[in-house]
Amino acid sequence: MTILLLLAPVGLPLAAALVYAAAGWRPHTTAWMGVVTTALLSADAIGLAVTVTRHGPVDTAGGLIRADALSAWMLLGVAAVALLACWASPAYLAAEHPHARRARWYGILLHLFIAAMAVAVLAGNLGILWVAVEATTIVTAFLVGHHRSRTALEAAWKYVVICSAAIAIAFLGLVLLYYAAQHAGLTGNDALDWATLAGHAHQLDPAVTRIAVGLAVLGFGAKAGLVPLHAWLPDAHSQAPAPVSALMSGVLLPVALYAVLRVKAVADPALGAGYLRTLLLILALTTLALAAVQLIGQRDFKRMLAYSSMEHMGLIALAAAVGTRPAIAALLLHMAGHGLAKTVAFLSAGHILYRHNSSRITDVRALATRTPLLAGLFGLAIVALLGFPPAALFASELGIARAGVGAGLAWATAAAFAFVATAFAAITAHSGRMLLGPPPMTEPGAAPPAAFTPATAMPLIAGLLGVAVLGITLGPVAGLLQAAASTVGAP
Amino acid sequence: MNGTALISTAVQVLVVVAGAPLLVGLMRQVRARLEGRAGAGIGQPWRDLRKLLRRAPATPTGTGWAFRLAPLLLVGTSLVLAAVVPLLTTASPLDRAADLFAIVGLLALGTVTLALAALDTGTAFGGMGASREMTILALVEPTILVAVFALSARVGSTNLAEIVTTTQHDPLRVASPASLLAAAALLIVVVAETGRLPVDNPATHLELTMIHEAMILEYAGTDLALVELAASMRLTILLGLLTSLFLPWGIAGASLAALPLALAAFVAKVAVLGLALGAVEVFIAKLRLFRVPELLAGSFVLALLAVASSFFLV
Amino acid sequence: MTDISYPLYLDLAAGLFLLTAVGVLWRHQLSAMIRLFALQGAALAAIVAILGIHQHSLELVLVALGLGVLRAGVLPYLARRALGDSPAEARETRPVVNVAASLLAAAALSLLAYAATRPLVALAPSPATGILPAAVAVVLIGFFTLVARRRALSQVVGFLLLDNGITATAFLAAAGVPLIVELGVSFDLLLVVLVLQVLTTRLRTAFGSSDLDELRELHD
C-alpha cells in the first residue's frame, strides 16, 4: 500500500502525459483529464500525509524514494497548486486558440513538469533530487516559450541558460559533498542519501563540506529566484502561459528552497548553524531589497507578480536562515499560502491579459466596474499576498517575524520587513491603479471579449478559499506541520 | 679562468656569428622552394653582408648619437648573448652572468636601442615602427620571464646552465605539462621577438605591415650590415635557447672532447627548427596588428599556467 | 601502466583539458570553439580512461568510452548543426569582454581555482586529486565564457565547458558519482543541448540572427 502511495505521484502525471501524447488535446474530453489525475494526486498526497503522521518516514526502491513529514507537506502543496492549474488550463487554452499540436505539447509538458516536481519532493537521494530539478528546467523551457513570440523566446533562452548553469553549480556542490562523504566512510548511493548524510554529518570534513554546501545553496537558490542568479525570474514568469506561471511561482520556487532545506539538514550538524545562517541571510536580504526596489517603478503587472514571488522567496530564505522549529513551521505555512494565493493571482492576471491584450499596468483601468468578478478575484488574491488576515500569509509572516526576533536576529528581521513594507506599498499602488477609477471610453467597433463566467472562475475561488481556510485553522494538518518542522528545524 | 671553458665559449661565439646568416639563408631558401621559386641559395645573406660592408654608411641629417650607437650596441649585446646562453657548452666563463634576468635584459637592451635609433631619425616610418615594436616588447618580456621561471622552479635556480644540465640528467621532465606549456609560450614569444610571421613579415616594405623593417629603413652600408647581422644572430640565439631548454642532448659540459658532437648537435637542431619555421611561414598569413596583443596575451596565459603547474602538479 | 608514468599521463591529459578551455576564450570563430570543445571531450575521456586503467576497473574504462562518444562526438555534432550555414553567423564579433582581457581573466581564474581547492586536495592527496584544480579552473572558465560572450552558441559552448569541468571533478574526486546519478546527469545534459539547439533555431527565425545582443526587449 505504501509503495503505491509513494509511486503514484510520479506515475499519475506520467500516465496523463502519455495520454496527451497519444490522443492530443481535445477541448471537452482530454482537456479535463488533467483535473482527474491531479485530484487523484491530491488524494494520494493526503493518504501519504496520514501514513507518515502515523508511522513515520516510509521509503521504497532501496531508499531512493522516501517520504517523511516534510516531503508529505511539500507534496500536498504540489498537488493543490497542480489541481488549480489543470482546472484552469482548459479555459485558458480555449481563449488562446492555439494549434492542436501546440496544445498537445502543452498537455504533455505540463504533466511531465508535475511528475518531475513530485520526484523532487519524494527523492531520498540528493542526486535524484538534482536530476528532477534539472528535468523541470528542461521541461519548462518549452512551456515558457509556448507563445513563440520574440519576448517569449528571449525569456525561454535566458531561463534555460541561467538555470542550467546554476543547477550545474549545485551539482558541483553535490559532487564535493559526495567526495567528503566517501572519506567519512559512506559508499555508493548511501553517500548522497540525505538521511544517512544527516546521521553521519559529524564525520564530514568541514572545509570540503563548507565549499560543497555553499555551491549547492547558491545553485538551488538561483533556481528559487535568489540573488545573484535571479535575472531569469521576471522574464520567464511574465512570458509563460498563466497556468504555467502559477505552477512555477507556486511550486517550483518552493521546491528549490526545499532542496536548500535538505542540504541545510546535512550542513548544520557538520558545520554548525552559523555558516548557512549567514549565507542565507545575505541572500535573503539582497533578494528582498532587489525585489522591493524593482516593484516600485514596475510597469508590467505580470512582472509585478514575478517580483512579488521573489520577495516571498526572500522571506522564506530568511526563515530558513533563522532555522529554529517555529521558523521552519512558519516557512512551510508561507510556502503553502503563497502557492495558493500566487496561483489565483497569476490565473486572474492571465484572464486580464487576454481581455486587454496588454500586460502594461497603465493599459488596464477600472477593472472593478468593467468585470467585477475578475477584479474581485484578482483583488482578493493581491490582498492575500500582501498578508492581510484571514489569509495564511498573515499568520506565516507573523510567525517568521516572531521566530526571527526570538533567535536574536532582530535587526535582520526588521530590515527584511522594511523591504516587505516597501513592496506592500508598491503593489497596493499598482493594483489600485488597475482596479479602481473611472472606466475609459470604449472604442467604437471593439468586439466585447467573452464574458468571465463563474465556471471559469471556479478554480480561482477554490484557491482563495484554500488560503483563507489555511489562515484560520490548520485543522488536521497541524500535526503534519509540526512533524515537518522538526525534521529540519533546530530545537 | 678555465682554459677549456674559454675555448668552448670562443668556438660558440664564432659558430653563432658565422652560422647566423646561413640560418637566415636556409629559411629563405626553404620558403622559396616551397613557393615554387629556385631561391638564391643559402649563402646569399653572407653575399649581401659582404656587399653592404663595401659601401659607405649614410647618416641622415638631424640624427644624433642614438642612431650611430644602435648598430654597435645591437652587435655587442648579441655577442654577449652568444657567449652566455648555453648553446654548445654549459661551462661558460660568464657562467655567473648566465642568469635568466640578465639574458632577458640584454635582449630588451638591444630592442630598445634600435627603437630609440628609429625615433632618432625623425621620420614617420621610424616612429611608427618603434611604437609597434614597443607594444610587442611590452607583452613579450613578461612572457619570457615567466616561462623560463616555470622551468627554473623545479631546478631551484634561474641560472640557464643549471637548468640545461638538470634537464639533461632527467629527460622525462620535458614531457611534463609545465615544460610543454612553457615551450608553447616560448615558441610564440620567439616568433614575436625576432619579427617572423605571423607577427611581422621580414620580407615586406609596405607601410601598413612593417615593424622591424620600418625601424632600420634609414640604415645603409656598414651600419645596415651590422644591424642585419645582429638580427640574424638574435634569431639563431633564440632558436638555440629553445633547443637548449627543451632538447638539451648533445650539449657539452666542461670537456673539449665533447665539443665536436655538441657542435654537430647544435647545427642539426637549429637547422631543423629553422627549416620547420620557414616551412610553416609559407602557409600562414600575417596577423592584423590589433590581433597581435591577443596572441601575446594568450602566450602569457600559457606561461602563467606553466608556472602554476610547476608548483602544483606532481 | 607503470606507476612512474601514471601521474605523467594524467598531468598531460589534464593540461590538454585546461588548455582547450583557454583556447575557447582565445578563438573568434565559432566553428573553432566547437572543435576545441570536441578536443576537450576527448581529453576528459582520456583522464577517465587513465584512471580506469590505473585502478584496473573495466567499468571506468567503459564509462570513459561512453563519455568520449557523448562529449567528443554527439554534442559537438549537435552544436555544429545549431551553427547554421550563414557565414555572417560564424564569428564572435564583439564579445562583452575582449579577447586579451578574457585571457588574462582566465589566468586569474585558474590561480583562484588553485587557491580555492586546497582543502579538497588536502583531504586525500594523490595524483588524481592533484589535478582537481585544473578541473575547477575549467568550471570557472566555462562560467566566464557564458557571461562574457554575446553569441548564443558561444554561451552554449561555455555551458558545456562548465559541465565538462564538473564531470572531471566528479571523476577525479570520487571515482564518479553513483551510476544512476551519472546516467541521469548525462541524459539531462543531452536534453539541455537539444533544447538549446531548438531554441537557437527558433531565435534565428524570430530575430534573424542568433546575436544575443538583439535580445533586449525584456527589461524593467
Radius of gyration of chain A (CA): 21
| Mean pLDDT in residue range B3-15 | 87
pLDDT of residue A449: 63
pLDDT in tens, A301-334: 999 999 999 999 999 999 999 988 889 999 999 9
C contacts of B180 (beta carbons < 8 Å): 12, 15
Q: Do C120 and A176 touch (CB under 8 A)?
A: yes
ipTM of the complex: 0.89
Distances, alpha carbon A449 to alpha carbons A351, A353, A356, in Å: 11, 12, 9
State yes or no: pLDDT of A443 exceeds 90.
Answer: no
Using the Cβ of C19 and the Cβ atoms of chain B, whether some distance falls under 8 Å is answered with yes
Res C213: pLDDT: 64
Digit-coded pLDDT (tens) for A10-31:
888 888 888 888 888 777 777 7
Bridge partners of A360? Answer: A300
Judging contacts by C-beta atoms under 8 Å, the chain B residues touching residue C133 are 312
C62 touches chain B (CB under 8 A): no
Interface contact B172-C8, CB threshold 8 A: yes
User: Which residues in chain B are closer than 8 Å to C126, comparing Cβ atoms?
Assistant: none
**A179 shares contact with chain C (CB less than 8 Å):** yes
Contacts of A462 (CB under 8 A, 6+ apart): A84, A87
How confident is the model over C88-127, as pLDDT tens digits?
Answer: 566 766 778 888 889 989 989 998 998 888 888 888 888 8
Condensed to tens digits (0 to 9), the pLDDT of residues A451-482 reads 677 778 888 888 888 888 888 887 778 888 88
C4, C10, C19, best to mutate vs chain B, most B CBs in 10 Å: C19
Average pLDDT over residues B258-286: 90
Cα B133 from Cα B215, distance rounded (Å): 9
**Is C159 within 8 Å of A168 when comparing Cβ atoms?**
yes
Nearest CA in chain C to A299: C220
**Exposed / middle / buried, residue C86 (Cβ in 10 Å: 0-12, 13-18, 19+):** exposed
Q: Which residues of A touch C196 (CB under 8 A)?
A: 160-161
SS3 B39: coil
Quick count: other Cβ atoms within 10 Å of Cβ A99? 8
- Per-residue pLDDT band for A84 (boundaries 50, 70, 90) equals very high
CA nearest neighbour of B192 among B119, B295, B107:
B295
The alpha carbon of residue C74 is apart from the nearest alpha carbon of chain B, in Å, by 29
Residue-level pLDDT at A6: 84
A447 band by pLDDT with thresholds 50, 70 and 90: low
pTM: 0.84
Chain-chain contact of C11 with B309 (C-beta, under 8 angstroms): yes
Between A92 and B28, whose confidence is greater? B28
**Helix or strand holding residue A60 (H, E):** strand A58-60
Q: How many CB atoms lie within 10 A of CB A414?
A: 12
**What value does the mean pLDDT take over residues B291-298?**
89
Share of chain A above pLDDT 90, in %: 35
Determine the residue type at A303: R
At least 3 CB pairs under 8 A between chains B and A: no
Mean residue pLDDT across chain B: 88
Sign of torsion over alpha carbons A471, A475, A479, A484: negative
Q: Which residue has the higher pLDDT, C214 or A473?
A: A473
Distance CA A74, CA A262 (A): 12
pLDDT at A450: 64
Q: What pLDDT, on a 0 to 100 scale, did the predictor assign at position A2?
A: 77
Chain C touches chain A, with at least 3 Cβ pairs below 8 Å, answer: yes
For residue B227, is pLDDT > 90? Answer: yes
Give the list of residues 6+ apart from residue B169 with CB closer than 8 angstroms, or none: none
Q: Is A208 on the interface with C (CB under 8 A)?
A: yes
Report helix, strand or coil for C211: strand
Q: Are the beta carbons of A379 and A431 closer than 8 angstroms?
A: yes
B219 Cβ under 8 Å from any chain C Cβ: no
State the average pLDDT over residues B290-313: 86
Instruction: Give B118 or A451, the one with higher predicted confidence.
Output: B118
| Chain B residues within 8 A of C8 when measuring between CB atoms | 172, 175-176
Does C107 contact B300 at a Cβ distance shorter than 8 Å?
yes
What residues in C contact A212, CB-CB < 8 Å? none
B305–C107: do the CB atoms touch at under 8 Å? yes
Q: Assess B143–C contact: CB distance below 8 Å, yes or no.
A: no
Q: How far is CA A25 from CA A102, A146, C134, in A?
A: 9, 15, 50
Q: Among positive and negative, which fits the CA dihedral B96, B98, B104, B108?
A: positive
Please report the pLDDT score of residue A442 as a whole number: 65
Q: C140 or C184: whose pLDDT is higher?
A: C140
The residue that leads in pLDDT, B3 or A224, is: A224
For residue B309, name the pLDDT band (cuts at 50, 70, 90): confident
Mean pLDDT of A439-445: 64
Which residue shows C-alpha cell 541545510? A264
DSSP state of A193: B
Mean pLDDT of A35-61: 86
pLDDT band at A387 (very low <50, low <70, confident <90, very high): confident
**pLDDT per residue as tens digits for the range A257-292:** 999 999 998 888 888 888 999 999 999 999 999 999
Q: What is the mean pLDDT of residues C70-74?
A: 90
The grid cell for C9 is 599521463
A444 has a pLDDT exceeding 60: no
Q: Using one digit for the tens of pLDDT, what is the confidence trace for A131-179? A: 899 889 888 988 888 888 888 888 888 898 899 899 989 999 988 888 8
Top pLDDT among A98 and B195 is at B195
Q: Which C residues in the span 109-148 are in contact with B, Cβ-Cβ below 8 Å?
A: 110-111, 114, 127, 130-131, 133
Mean pLDDT within A65-91 = 90
Q: Give the separation between CA B160 and CA B241, rounded to whole angstroms.
A: 9
Look at residue A115 and tell me whether its pLDDT is greater than 70. yes
* Burial call C164-187: b when 16+ CB within 10 Å, e when fewer: bbbbbbbbbbbbbbbebbbebbbe
- pLDDT average, residue stretch B247-270: 84
Closest CA to C16 of B311, B177, B301: B177
